[in-house]
Amino acid sequence: MMTLNPDRVEWRAECASTNTLLREQAEAGAPSGKVLVADRQTAGRGRCGRAWLSSPGESLTFSVLFRGKPVETLSGLSLAVGLALLQALEKLGARALSLKWPNDLLCRKNGKDAKLAGVLIECAGDAVIIGIGLNLKSFDLPEQATAGLSDCLDTPASPPALLAAIVRELDFMWADFVVRGFAPLRDAWQARHAGQGKSVRLVENGRVLAEGRYLGVDDNGALRLAAADGEQIFWAGDLSLRAGDA
């Protein structure tokens, strides 16, 4: 079984948010490569101000600290992280996975793409904190279909084995990303993303930013949409398929 160097991993029974705590540790000088895991998060955070709670056995929630690349050169990192996560899980035997811009990992379940994992990236000085929440079991959310790893992986992997496999892939991703950025990963990302060519809507804080046909991403990981008045590029927002295109 793949294992991680125990010196770089701190595994807590509970904390408010692994991203928040690791960020504090980064500010206090924690080294690049540090991994912080919590069985339970009491104030876990998702993108766009949403909550991301976790309980033992239901999800794997952790954050990884990396240093070595200026903040202004990090465009596309969240997509690179999603791809690394997908590749790690596929190496363990997971199937029916795909990516949704900017950084959701989906699993095809009952004929629909359901959210399996999410990524929240934050920066503190020269430190990048990559937070990952991976559902082990699916649960009901009114606004979103979710999947658990048990929906796409026949042979269950223990949380430490999962963590080791994912962190290994993140290490490879980061070493390459520091030098070359997202552009060389663009084709691999696009080959796995759900919704290419479909009609989509981009929403931010409840406001519709744009509607159009999903053209994929550019070399920086920005979303390309064919809108009524031509191609547009977006850096943020929540993407959903429009009715009839699900």
Residue 12 near ligand BTN by CB under 6 A: no
Q: Cis peptide before 156, with omega less than 30 degrees from 0?
A: no
Distance CA 123, CA 135 (A): 24
Residue 160 near ligand BTN by CB under 6 A: no
> Smaller CB distance to ligand BTN: residue 63 or 98?
63
- For β-strands 207-217 and 199-204, DSSP reports them as antiparallel
> Smaller CB distance to ligand BTN: residue 131 or 212?
131
Residue 34 near ligand BTN by CB under 6 A: no
Cβ neighbours of 75 (radius 10 Å): 16
Question: What's the chain's Rg over C-alpha atoms?
Answer: 17
Residue 44 near ligand BTN by CB under 6 A: yes
Residue 84, judged by CB atoms within 10 A of its CB (0-12, 13-18, 19+), counts as buried
Distance CA 132, CA 135 (A): 10
> Smaller CB distance to ligand BTN: residue 58 or 218?
58
> Smaller CB distance to ligand BTN: residue 16 or 226?
16
Residues paired with 100 in a beta bridge: 104
Q: Which residues contact 148 (CB under 8 A, 6 or more apart)?
A: 116, 135, 136, 137, 138, 139
CB of 18 to ligand BTN, least distance (A): 4
- For β-strands 9-15 and 35-41, DSSP reports them as parallel
Whether the Cβ atoms of residue 177 and residue 171 lie closer than 8 Å to each other: no
Q: How many residues bind ligand BTN (CB under 6 A)?
A: 20
Closest CA to 72 of 128, 10, 9: 128
Residue 18 near ligand BTN by CB under 6 A: yes
CB under 6 A: which stretch of 15-23, 90-98, 196-204, 232-240 binds ligand BTN? 15-23
Residue 120 near ligand BTN by CB under 6 A: yes
> Smaller CB distance to ligand BTN: residue 226 or 235?
235
Residue 78 near ligand BTN by CB under 6 A: no
Report the site for ligand BTN in 91-110 (rule: CB under 6 A): 104
> Smaller CB distance to ligand BTN: residue 59 or 157?
59
Phi, psi of 57 (to 5 degrees): 85, -15
The site map against ligand BTN for 129-158 (x = CB under 6 A) is: --xxx-------------------------
CB of 239 to ligand BTN, least distance (A): 12
Closest CA to 135 of 155, 116, 152, 118: 116
Q: For binding to ligand BTN (CB under 6 A), which residues are involved?
A: 17-19, 41, 44-47, 50, 52, 61-63, 104, 118-120, 131-133
